[in-house]
Structure 1
Amino acid sequence: MAMPKHDADGAVVDRRLDATTICFSEEPAPAASDGGSHRFALRVTCSVTRSLEFRRSGRHPKVVLQKYTKAGCDSAITFPVGDLSVLQSDGACQGALRGMLAELRQLRELHLDEDEWDAVVPADIVPQIVRVARGEDAKDGFTFCFAMNAHRRIIHGEEALLMACKERELDLDGAGTTDDCAICLDGLEGEPAVELPACPHAFHRRCISTWFSKKTTCPICRDDVRLCALRKFLNL
């Protein structure tokens, strides 16, 4: 599911959430704390991964410059089902599962938008649950167990790297000194210039923007600008 966004700085952010089923099984009815049994329950195990991708623009926009991935810890939670009818139709089951998954801490930490929550339920799990809930054996009780993975992807083009840079302020006290752009060798005064976040080097904005279309490092010290941008963009 792709969610094109614009952040406060105006850079396009393509957010995607992919929810997939890893496995599923049916088990006997869950035991209750009083020694009896609940008739129905669902047990969900959810694994979350997050990745950040920088993509080239121009003729080959789908080339990934580099992909950073962060995996979260799996956790399981069991939800008792008091009324089996909420699992016997596609629409009701989708809504019930969405409410259950919203209680998982690892999913809440993704800060999903409302329309992303609509897609957080794996597409293939609903008909499987409905089939079991409508079956002849449902009267005997069951625990429906499934494991899922939610993958949050944030995709940027080269303009995202410029967001990590800061505007260079003109040093009015240094009247006798001028800095040159290391790319075009012209003076930095007179047109917009930026300083890279990981080093003290500065360049014309137009020059470093062109440079970022080919490389993602400082032209002088070769520090990788993406590493500085990583924390900010993963928090988007």
Structure 2
Amino acid sequence: MDGIVSTTRTVNYESKTHAVIDSQISGSFSILIRQVERSFVRLNSIRCENLLSQKTLPASAAIVFEIPPSFLLAGEEICSGYVCNALSKTIIDSWIQGLILPQICKEAIELSKTGHGFLVEAQVEAVKETYINDVVDLNDYDSKGQRIPIKPVCPICLKEFVHSTSTIITKLRCCNHCFHRDCILTWLRRNHSCPTCRDDIHNPRPKKHISKTVCLGQKPMAIKYSEA
């Protein structure tokens, strides 16, 4: 099963700082975590991915903790150890803790140099992406083994689909519309629908199928309509 499934984890850390009149120069952090999970099928040997699903987990209450003056002024290593211990006692997933720890410590030490206390309100978007390798469907590729998009340009950025090692074309499985990978992931951070047809990626509209039955002799051809 090696190489069949792989996972990437990233965080986007944004914060606002409020000065606090405090003779001890203490620092407080209020952290709100928003988690997003996406699953892709990655076609073998082809730089193309199909988005299977996206799920946004409900944000928990803000995590609040304080860094005492003695740890703020003791240097980066001591401060990092204290923050690491403080985060370990919260409900924040361990992988998120590891990725936001350097940012929190850096921000705390810089703010401690201002000579007054502070409150940092941070918002963290934590994204976990799982990639499942799949077999190649040759009918979707040209003679060079490159995927043929339904449209010649990405509907989001309106730039052509240029096949290169730095370009990844992603197809939404709910509707088969294609986009540049970075374009559609940026869109999906704020929307859960296809930007072309507005189909919900979690609950796509049922697709109509037409099945034809042809009978020999005098019987007419029967056409049946059904919904998947």
User: Under TM normalisation by the shorter chain, which class is it?
Assistant: 0.3 to 0.5
Relative to the length of structure 2, the TM-score reads 0.47
Relative to the length of structure 1, the TM-score reads 0.46
The structure richer in strand per residue is: 2
The structure richer in helix per residue is: 1
